[in-house]
Amino acid sequence: GFLNHEFKLLKQGLKPLNRYCEIIDTLQMARQKHPGQRNSLDALCKRYQVDSSARDLHGALLDARLLGLVYLAMTGGQTSLFAEEDIDLVDRSDASSNEKTTPAKQYNVKVIRATNEETKSHEDYLARMQEKNGGACVWETEK
| Catalytic residue set | 58
Q: What is the 3-state secondary structure (H, E, C) of the chain?
A: CHHHHHHHHHCCCCCCHHHCCCCCCHHHHHHHHCCCCCCCHHHHHHHCCCCCCCCCCCCHHHHHHHHHHHHHHHHCCCCCCCCCCCCCCCCCCCCCCCCCCCCHHHCCCCCCCCCHHHHHHHHHHHHHHHHHHCCCCHHHHCC
User: What is the rounded (10 degree) CA torsion for 55, 73, 25, 105?
Assistant: 90
Burial class (CB in 10 A: 0-12, 13-18, 19+), 67: middle
